[in-house]
Amino acid sequence: MTSPTQRVYLHIGLPKTGTTSLQELLWHHREAIAEDGVLYPGHDQAAHHRAAMDVHHGRYGQWKEPGTAGSWDWIVEQARAWRGTSVISTELLAPASPDEAARALADLDFAEVHVLCTARDLARQIPSVWQENVKTRQRTSFADFLAALREPELNDTSRLFWDYQDLPRVLRTWGAGLPPERVHVVTVPPRGTPSGVLWERFAAVLGLDPARFPSDVPLYNNFSLGMTETELLRRVNLALGDELPWLRYADVVKDDFAAKVLSQLSGSTHIPLPARDHGWVAEAAQRFHDELAAAGYTVVGDLGDLLPSAPVGTAADADAAAPTDAELLAAAVDALVALLRRDPPEAPATQRPPTGVGRFRQTLLHLSEQYPQAMHARRLYWRAKAQLRR
């Protein structure tokens, strides 16, 4: 039975709409916003993503980490124990099927559920998604990616893209059975808008005063690459193939080489949409705009933010062209120099086995991944902890 004092905001994406920055801000301010009655559950920053992987049993197989099984129930249990507002945020929920979304919403029936979706215009989304795909080991060139999206019939590339980026479909799936006023669309402001506006819009939906929780704090997991650096990483992906297991790739290639080396070489990280693609993209964006306006959802920002600006001259085509081999060679040399200049890694300190509370906690974590009774004990612990914080 729904409690009148409990509310859950389910932030379902879309990917590449500032979700990482928003999640880092929620994590950074989690203790302070808890004092204002808003819980951001989980004991680490990846907890919500693991929960989404748990909801999508078959979609994220290669990404699954130890402890993924049962992690959705774990997040839900913490929200259930909190008598105020809770926020669950992961863009990995965006492509859920109607059945998956219905099951997830049913698990939250103890609270008044609100669906929250951040959205950005497609002309910026498409290049950004391609870049993110390359950062997660995909090997499709920008030209081939655009060509696949232009095809009238769905193919492997376009089906994957629209699974995450078909905004009206995502909102219909997650908003089914909810009053439209409990489906919130937060638009990403246009390029050139002062930083922090997206956080202000997002925080306002949660009932938080953004002035009390500033957005100008260090963000560690959000980085972008320019066209040349992204193409260089794509060539590295081609050379590596599937040689590295995903977790090894994420650690060495994505989170180290791309995040700490290539991102430092990028001048402009703006990858424009070629002018020749603006027509069909603008038509799709207009359809999104019209369907959302007709649905009656709560919009924070302006639905006009979802409409792309017209390209200026032919600069967009020139800027979006694939880099030359000479440009890639120069970037590769710069990356090698940056790697060689880095300080050598420190020798790992000898780790002592945990004792006392640490050993008990490690044992409980291990057992709860194997035995339902131990998982139940963890849930009781989190309920008690939430009640004490309250």
Check residue 266 and give its pLDDT.
75
In this prediction, the residues of the chain whose per-residue pLDDT falls under 50 are 1, 315-316, 369
Segment holding 116, helix H or strand E = strand 112-119
> Considering the domain 7-221+274-314 in this protein, what is its CATH number?
3.40.50.300
Check residue 352 and give its pLDDT.
54
pLDDT digits (tens, 9 = 90+) for 193-202: 988 999 999 9
> How do the domains of the chain map onto residue ranges?
7-221+274-314, 357-389
Structure tokens at 56: 């999508």
Locus of tokens 């729904």: 2
One DSSP character per residue, 351-373 reads PPPP-HHHHHHHHHHHHHTT-HH
pLDDT digits (tens, 9 = 90+) for 154-192: 999 999 999 999 999 999 999 999 999 999 999 999 988
Check residue 390 and give its pLDDT.
56
Distance CA 289, CA 268 (A): 29
DSSP 3-state assignment of 216? coil
For the chain, how many helices (H) and strands (E)?
A: 18, 6
Structure tokens at 139: 């090997």
Report the Cα 260 to chain-centroid distance in Å. Answer: 19
pLDDT digits (tens, 9 = 90+) for 275-287: 999 999 999 999 9
Distance CA 57, CA 75 (A): 16
